Chains A and B, each alone.
Chain A
Amino acid sequence: MPHIAPDMDDLFRKAAENYSLKRGANRWEEIASKLDAHQQPFEQGRKPNHKKYLVVLLFLFAFLLLVDIIPYTDGNEDPVHQISKFERPAELKSTISNANNDQPRQEPATFRFDINDKVNLIPRSLRIDNKKGSAYVVNNIEAEDKYLKARVVNEKAFLIVEQLQSPASDIDIKNRRAIELQPLNTDSKQRNKNARHGFYYGLMVGAGFTNIKSQEITRAGFEYGIVGGYRFGEKISVETGALLSKKYYQTSGEYFSMKAISSSMPTDMKIMDVKSSTDFLQIPIHVRYDLKNRNDHRFFTSAGFSSYILFKESNSYHTMHNGNEGMRYSTYKNRDSYFAGSFDISIGYEKDIGNTATFKIEPYLQLPLKGVGVGELQLKTAGLRLVLTRPLK
């Protein structure tokens, strides 16, 4: 044995640095698969997260959309009571003076005539309050106890929207005033008329459960994005969109196709089950049919196809190899696309909000037409979408 150096620390230090050890097995595959499973939290913390920016943009978009929805009001304005501030024409004053203000409130008898698209000149007897376009009152004294609801075009002209007839005995003055009030841009029939055809766009958020061959459901996925459509008439529209969606699902190994991964797995390895989370860009094309179309709400059904671009698929494989159970983790970023990957059907309810926007709630079902992902899995998704839209001006 060689002579042992007197400085023990130095000797051990040299030994620790220079001792010869068998090179260990290369376990890169194990590290790589574990890294895939760890990657998500790291990416969120470190890499620029484009999803975050997208969400911020969507919120901004929603904000702009909502700003347009909220009807314009001028501070303390109360359109119903504002009329009391108006100076009534002399002719009307005499009628009002005969009315009994304490009479119980009754709904006025309303007679509708064809809405006159002709622009009328405002007669001198008409009093109009045009405060920043918030509300208008038109008292047509010339029409013998008939009152016009009208939309003011400018200081000199108006458009008759509706004619009302209110016998003095049926209605008190307060109610009469209220009927005559005609806020700008809030007439739902007029809006409906405008919305009968044309483009619209909006935002969508949704959540859904995905399963494969009626197996156990893991957890809810989610989706969000922009939608757009064209309304052809009162009943039919075509809708599309670009939705980022995440789906979670699991399956028994028997439904998982080994075609794509068999080369990277040991020969005798069997997949017992697989848990997946997958990120898609979803592009639906749906035809919508309105079952019931009321003034400010609608019931509809829609059907169509969704195409998918798969961004990322993270799979956890529960494996069996020579009698030993194990786990393997893999992430795939193949960007595979699936044209018409699912057939979609939905029913829904849509309600108008504010001046121009609509909000709809839409339960849906997606039935698989193609196998998706490395395992070519038949994903069936059921969920609920909330959509906010407005017409494209």
Chain B
Amino acid sequence: MLKNISEIIEGCVNRDPKCQRTFYDSYRHFALKIVFRYIYRYEKAEDVVTDGFIKAFDHFHQFKKDDEENLEKILAGWIKRIMINCAIDELRKNNMMPEIGGIPDEVWDITDRSDNADQLLLYKDLVTQIKELPPNYRIVFNLYVVDGYTHSQIADLLNISVSTSRSSLSRAKAILQTLLKNTEQKELCRI
């Protein structure tokens, strides 16, 4: 993806616009996919990604590139953390108010005509279900299940207790299980 990740990082630390642009082009879709799991509306998710990159570029000097061999992985993890933080900040700003109205089809890119298409449809449905969760459950589910945070990290991040984190997760899972069953039944009825 990046010819020389080390040079790009160095450039971003020194605020070289070319390197910043390369970094942005390389990671913007990755970032959008992370943020879109947390933020309900696509346009809002794009705004959060923009803010996230500004934050990243402003704090690039804090990025520690100790492990040269896994630099790309570390960088991806770093940008992921920033995006998650920005997304949570945005949700907090709106007092974790749930949003409704559905997600328009055009935001999904299901153009794959191969056998993979069904899989993509499934993934789309599953991500939609995550997004339909109430914001506080959605955050905990995303953090724990998808992004690999521990309950104590989630508790610190959200300023809640560990038990609240656990209970939020189990409620999120319960909701998702119900949603999955409903979806499965609908599919069976169609057949």
A interface with B by C-beta (< 8 Å):
1-2, 4, 8-9, 11-28, 30-32, 34-35, 38-39, 42-43, 45-47
Neighbour of A8 across the interface among B25, B109, B111, B173, CB < 8 A:
B173
Does the CB pair B54–A20 fall under 8 Å? no
In the assembly, what is the distance between CA of A17 and CA of B123, in Å?
9
The chain A residue with its CB closest to the CB of B177 is: A8
- Known contacts A2-B118, A8-B180, A32-B17: A20-B110 contact under CB 8 Å: yes
CB distance from B156 to the nearest CB of A (A): 22
Question: Which chain B positions have C-beta within 8 A of A27?
Answer: 46, 49-50
Does the CB pair A22–B106 fall under 8 Å? yes
B interface with A by C-beta (< 8 Å):
13-15, 17, 20-21, 24-25, 28-29, 32-33, 36-37, 42, 45-46, 49-50, 53-54, 57-58, 61, 106-112, 118-120, 122-124, 126-127, 130, 141-142, 145-146, 173, 176-177, 180, 183-184, 187
Question: Which chain B positions have C-beta within 8 A of A4?
Answer: 122, 180, 184
Does the CB pair A15–B122 fall under 8 Å? yes
In the assembly, what is the distance between CA of A18 and CA of B33, in Å?
9
Neighbour of B29 across the interface among A9, A17, A24, A42, CB < 8 A:
A24
22 contacts between A and B (CB under 8 A): A2-B119, A18-B123, A19-B33, A19-B124, A19-B126, A19-B127, A21-B107, A24-B29, A24-B46, A30-B50, A31-B20, A31-B50, A31-B54, A31-B57, A32-B20, A35-B15, A38-B58, A42-B58, A42-B61, A43-B15, A46-B13, A47-B14
Question: Which chain A positions have C-beta within 8 A of B14?
Answer: 47
Does the CB pair B122–A21 fall under 8 Å? no
In the assembly, what is the distance between CA of A175 and CA of B47, in Å?
84
Does the CB pair B24–A19 fall under 8 Å? no
In the assembly, what is the distance between CA of A46 and CA of B61, in Å?
7
CB distance from A279 to the nearest CB of B (A): 17
Question: Which chain B positions have C-beta within 8 A of A19?
Answer: 33, 108, 120, 123-124, 126-127
CB distance from A41 to the nearest CB of B (A): 8
In the assembly, what is the distance between CA of A30 and CA of B183, in Å?
40
The chain B residue with its CB closest to the CB of A18 is: B123
Question: Which chain A positions have C-beta within 8 A of B127?
Answer: 15-16, 19
The chain A residue with its CB closest to the CB of B186 is: A1
**When A and B form their complex, which 6 residue pairs have the shortest distance between CB atoms, in order from nearest?**
A15-B126, A19-B123, A15-B123, A1-B187, A16-B146, A20-B109
Question: Which chain A positions have C-beta within 8 A of B123?
Answer: 14-15, 18-20
In the assembly, what is the distance between CA of A174 and CA of B110, in Å?
107
Does the CB pair B126–A20 fall under 8 Å? no
Question: Which chain B positions have C-beta within 8 A of A22?
Answer: 42, 106-109
Does the CB pair B176–A12 fall under 8 Å? yes
Question: Which chain A positions have C-beta within 8 A of B20?
Answer: 31-32, 35
In the assembly, what is the distance between CA of A4 and CA of B32, in Å?
26
Does the CB pair A21–B126 fall under 8 Å? no
Does the CB pair A16–B130 fall under 8 Å? yes
Does the CB pair A31–B109 fall under 8 Å? no
Question: Which chain B positions have C-beta within 8 A of A21?
Answer: 29, 32-33, 36, 107-109
In the assembly, what is the distance between CA of A18 and CA of B184, in Å?
21
CB distance from B169 to the nearest CB of A (A): 10
Does the CB pair B122–A2 fall under 8 Å? yes
